[in-house]
Amino acid sequence: MEWTLALLFGVSILLLMISIIKSRQAANKNQREIDTVHVEVMKEINNMQDSIRNIELDMEIVSNAAGVQLTTDEIILRREVLDLYKRQYSLDSIAEKKQITESEVKEILAGYLTSTVEGGKVAHEA
């Protein structure tokens, strides 16, 4: 009886040690996977930052080549107005939302506005 208890106690200690070793191995494997994903995400973030930096430099080059010097506030306003226009807001709702006149909205969007009257004439002339 005493030998049986000692044997069972010894087996339980052995199983406990095996369990601890397996848990550590699984934890190490999970940590390696997390590290791998972290490195990949950091690479993607660096690539995105490089792309954004290149776009900003390209914008600066183009605006300098065109001779257009805008303040940061003017750039933000133009960006927001263009965004609203691309999302198909009407010119008067854009003007109301940005608290500017409709003529200012038309001036900002001058290069982006399409004339539907001319397109309608061409479509109906044929």
Residue in the block written with tokens 């049986």: 4
Model pLDDT, residue 126: 46
In a domain, 122, yes or no: no
Residues 53 and 20 in one domain: yes
Residues 58 and 76 in one domain: no
Domain count, the chain: 2
pLDDT band at 50 (very low <50, low <70, confident <90, very high): very high
Is the full-model pTM beyond 0.85?
Answer: no
User: Do residues 94 and 81 lie in contact, with contact meaning Cβ atoms separated by under 8 Å?
Assistant: yes
State yes or no: pLDDT of 123 exceeds 70.
Answer: no
Residues 44 and 75 in one domain: no
Model pLDDT, residue 70: 80
Picking from 113, 118, 104, the residue whose alpha carbon sits closest to that of residue 85 is 113
How remote is the C-alpha of 108 from its chain's centroid? 26
Residues 53 and 37 in one domain: yes
Q: What is the pLDDT of residues 1-39, one digit of tens each?
A: 889 999 999 999 999 999 999 999 999 999 999 999 999
Residues 2 and 44 in one domain: yes
Residues 24 and 61 in one domain: yes
Q: Which domain holds residue 19?
A: 1-68
